[in-house]
Structure 1
């Protein structure tokens, strides 16, 4: 066991033996998952799709459509492919090798960007733009193909009452390091400019991402006993709507998540509204960012502890409540100082939503069906998350307050559905480790 090798006899271990194995190896597996979480957050802060990647694209083109594609590709690429591979992943008794190999594939487009950016940045920037979007698409598609396997392995090796702190501690440490990562990107951009600074950013991000997954092959994982039979993709897709109807509470949970995507519309426009309405200075905008990152860092640890002790439903309820209050304050704010509260609440909303919506499907799922449940949730919310920023951009022409009202009502409706119709599966279903 010390080398992570599992004998054939262990395959027939009973539920109690599997629980014992998981708990005995929790610390080892926890550190592997934590390293991946921290490295991912640090790397993504270096090449932030909110700041750094839009700046990279704007160095090449003035097209706002090109800038908008960054987020759209990330949302669709990471969330939509999962539904097509979930059935295949459910057939695999061991997850770690698939996860590791696809994670390697996921990282190499970033390495390619680090090599090609200085070569094409000066000689053929138009071609570099195509290369960037090709690499960005491959990176996110590979991530999407890996999501069901990651959640399946995570649910196997991390006990339900330790998943919150695993996410939370990773988010807290990653958030603190992300501040350093953002600062490093700024220093590189100031010193080297385009294209060399971006080449360095991509290379450093690749190294961090690569190191973060080196622990996956050493994960101590028992083979799954409840491996499903082979299903065609068409059969699998036909099964998804039926599952949502048969598992009523999971269907209501996914429905609430779909409604809740509209609440994220407001997040993209708080800064723009503060500038237009109150003349926010660059220093005040920088303070908004600091408050948001600070809120994210604290929220990760608090939500992680709360999720382990009280379940993930209450985490979602707190996050959704923040999603109701933040746009309400923004719409009624008499001065810019109120936006400090708005950004603090926005951080609570984002972190709690990500943690709760990722963890709850793992507990809704019967043994062996974690990839199916997590993939259905991602596949339904992915297109909506991609369309919401575009919809917000259209509505913004009629006034930011309309966006805030829509976001507030969506968060309120999602909160009511979740609170009144969805029970926490941690306490209503038997969760096998």
Structure 2
């Protein structure tokens, strides 16, 4: 081991307790706020309220996914040559949060038509900066937290954020959306989301980041794109993980339509929306503590497969429900499956290959994952308008089953290699 690697490992261990607690606090506030934007309830219901069109729900989510798909490779080129990336994470994090503030202000200041246009544009910009931040923050976490402790940290971050986000979602639906606070209750909820995420970003500034022991020479986006074939050929295990993640992500095509389907079974008031959002977030983030502990003990590969299976079972339950109580249980199960899948997909990539090439591996995995999310919701919207919700749900299940098969047969646990 080189002297720089030794110094790096010593710095990681010396600052581990502080960085662990700081990233826990960052996740508590930041994820609480972002869950209100990312949950498959508030934004889809908001877009449907503004437009009356299922297709526009897919368009809005596709705008975010497009922005998120375009920038991970850019994020990798911004990171790879830097010894430290914390300052970059803070700048990009601030730009993300400004889009959330813009969504809130647009809802208060603009007419419905212009609000819808602004919402799609701001979601696209939010995705643009989120694509960069996904690379930067995951690289920062990989530098500061050892692999065997990432699962519990991710689980705790999600669990604590889940409790808070569930409460905020319920109260927001009941006391902000139903009485139309500020003339637009949805905008008020997104304003709360901005304040929470801004507080989370202030926590991130307290991280103590060690210098990377090795970095790549600075290169442009096109040069790194030309390196992709060699990167994929060099590690078949990573390539098959990449394919499994893409197929699992294609299963997210149905995600914006779960709450609209629920609206065909019960009246979708602000209170009902708050309950379903809280149920989803309890499952998505609360159960992630169990997923995280399982990942630390057995690896993220088993979490990937198990969470997709739970997600499939949750959709089967959703399709059979007609009342609010079973719908709430279905949304808890949906959150459990979706949350576990995202936890495993985002953390498994950190365990392939060397630290030097990690930003690019994160970038390519995130980009393709989001590219599928552009196509998926649009295809789903067309199918919903022309046929019904059920074909969308069944097609998404087929993609998830394919992901399980590939992960089980062709991907070995990278932690044990």
After TM superposition, the score normalised by the length of structure 1 is 0.83
Inter-partner Cα distance in structure 2 for 1:280 and 1:190: 16
SS of 1:220's equivalent in the other structure is: coil
> Could you list the runs of 5+ residues in structure 1 that have no partner in the other structure?
1-11, 429-433
Residue 198 of structure 2 corresponds to 210
| Partners of 1:82 and 1:147 within 8 A in 2 | yes
Whole-angstrom distance in 2 between the partners of 1:416 and 1:193: 48
The residue that corresponds to 1:181 in the other structure is 168
Q: Does 1:36 align with 2:30?
A: no
- Give the number of aligned pairs: 411
Q: Contact 2:54–2:381 (CA<8 Å) still a contact in 1? A: no
Q: 2:308 maps to which residue?
A: 320
Distance 1:102 1:393, change over 3 A: closer
Residue of structure 2 in register with 1:424 after alignment: 413
Greater shift, 267-276 or 141-150, is seen at 267-276
SS in structure 2 of the partner of residue 215 of structure 1:
helix
Residue 398 and residue 116 in structure 1: after superposition, are their counterparts in 2 closer, same or farther (change >3 A)?
closer
Question: What is the aligned partner in structure 2 of residue 351 from structure 1?
Answer: 339
**Residue in structure 2 matched with residue 392 of structure 1 by the alignment:** 380
Q: Aligned match of 1:72 in 62, 84, 95?
A: 62
The 3 A distance-change label for structure 1 pair 26 and 183 is same
Q: Deviations 1:52-98 (Å, cap 9, x if unpaired)?
A: 33455456544554433331122222343111231231011101011
- In structure 2, which of residues 120, 142, 149 is the aligned counterpart of residue 133 of structure 1? 120
Q: Which moved more, 1:61-70 or 1:162-171?
A: 61-70
Mapped partners of 1:128, 1:289: distance in 2: 23
Following superposition, the deviation at residue 167 of structure 1 comes to: 1.0
Range with greater deviation from structure 2 (416-425 or 149-158): 416-425
Q: Which residue of 2 aligns with 1:235?
A: 223
Q: Distance in 2 between matches of 1:50 and 1:312?
A: 24
Question: Which stretch of the first structure deviates more once superposed, 199-208 or 55-64?
Answer: 55-64
Q: Deviations over 1:86-128 (max 9, x none)?
A: 123101110101111121222223334555554x33xx55444
Partner of residue 94, structure 1: 84
Contact residue 22 and residue 156 of structure 1 kept, 8 A: yes
- Matching residue within 381, 385, 398 for 1:409: 398
Question: Which of residues 347, 356, 366 is equivalent to 1:378?
Answer: 366
Deviations 1:122-155 (A, max 9, x none): xx55444444433333233122222211111010
- Name the counterpart of 2:240: 252
Q: 1:247-291: CA deviations, max 9, x gaps? A: 111001111112223333444555566676xx5566998766554
Structure 1 residues 203 and 137, CA gap change in structure 2 (3 angstroms): same
Q: Which runs of 5+ in 2 are unaligned?
A: none
Alignment partners' CA distance in 1, 2:169 and 2:42: 9
Q: Deviations over 1:323-380 (max 9, x none)?
A: 444445566x598787666544423321111011101111113122221011110111
Aligned: 1:224 with 2:212: yes
- 2:314/2:334 contact within 8 Å kept: yes
Deviations 1:30-49 (A, max 9, x none): 12212222222221344566
- Partners of 2:263 and 2:102 in 1: CA distance: 38
d(CA) in 2 for partners of 1:198, 1:335: 26
Alignment root-mean-square deviation, CA: 3.1
CA contact (8 A) 1:267 1:346 kept: no
Contact 2:72 2:363 in 1 (8 A): yes
Shift of 1:13: 4.0
Q: SS at 2:176's partner residue?
A: helix
2:84 is paired with a residue whose SS is: coil
Specify the SS of the correspondent of 1:214.
Answer: helix
Distance 1:159 1:194 in 2: 45
More displaced stretch, 49-58 vs 248-257: 49-58
- The aligned counterpart of 1:9 is none
User: Partner of 1:261 in structure 2?
Assistant: 249
Match of 1:4? Answer: none
Q: Does the C-alpha gap of structure 1 residues 329 and 200 become closer, same or farther in structure 2, counting only changes over 3 Å?
A: closer
Quick check: 2:35–2:281 contact (8 Å CA) kept in 1? Answer: no
Q: What is the TM-score normalised by the length of structure 2?
A: 0.86
C-alpha displacement at 1:298, in angstroms? Answer: 3.5
- 1:275 to 1:135, Cα distance in 2 relative to 1, 3 A: closer
1:108 correspondence with 2:95: no
Q: CA deviation at 1:184?
A: 3.4
